[in-house]
Amino acid sequence: MIPDNYKAFQDTLSLDEAPKGWPSGLRALWYDAKGDWESSHDIAQDIHNSLGSWIHAYLHRKEGDRFNAGYWYRQANKSFPKYTLEEELKSIVEHVLSVNKEG
């Protein structure tokens, strides 16, 4: 089941694996939130739209690769954030959850 909000998403982080049936963007964010940057990045690389680019940008920002992150933010049509990585993770998760509710 897909979480209704960010708190519910955070509650799933006690699980050993990402819940089945989640969209790839949410799974990528789940792995990052669990501290598995590589798995998150592997999934994000296969999302060929603005969401994938945004997640990819966030991951490279987290990695400390500002140049690569900047490229992916431009691909996502986003500005380089002036807020924390934690705030950005929450923002992306909330975006994915809102799109999922609409769709």
Q: Rounded to an integer, what distance in angstroms lies between the CA atom of residue 69 and that of residue 67?
A: 5
> Which phi and psi angles does 50 have, rounded to 5°?
-65, -30
Q: Rounded to an integer, what distance in angstroms lies between the CA atom of residue 20 and that of residue 65?
A: 31
Q: Tens digit of pLDDT for each residue in 15-35?
A: 999 988 999 999 999 999 999
Q: Tens digit of pLDDT for each residue in 93-102?
A: 999 999 877 6
Query: What are the chain's domains?
Result: 23-102 (1.25.40)
Q: Tens digit of pLDDT for each residue in 60-95?
A: 999 999 999 999 999 999 999 999 999 999 999 999
